[in-house]
Amino acid sequence: MTEYAGCQSSHVAFLLDPALGLINIEQNGIIKFFSVAAVILMPPTLVASVYGMNFHHMPELELAYGYPMALGLMAISAILPVLWFRRRGWF
């Protein structure tokens, strides 16, 4: 009985290793996706938080094109990481 239990234990371990490997590969892909999404959304969030602060002396506030400039800066800071990740084949 001991030999049979040892044989069954080795079979279970043999099947468990590939299953854990596949789960690990899938989790790595998910974490990679969330990391790329976080990096893409971080620069626009930074720009939006700076322009969301209530400063009295922000020269862009008096300009007629200040708001479109801030939106453009947020768009550019989101598009550049996307292009970089696509160029590297990560996204």
How confident is the model over 47-70, as pLDDT tens digits? Answer: 888 777 777 777 777 778 877 887
3-state class (DSSP) for residue 89:
coil
Tell me, what amino acid is at 23? Answer: I
Q: Break the chain down into helix, strand, coil percent, rounded to 5.
A: 85, 0, 15
Confidence of residue 91 (pLDDT cuts 50, 70, 90): low
Domain count, the chain: 1
Q: List the CATH number of the domain containing 83.
A: 1.20.58.340
Q: Which domain holds residue 19?
A: 2-88
Query: pTM higher than 0.85, yes or no?
Result: no
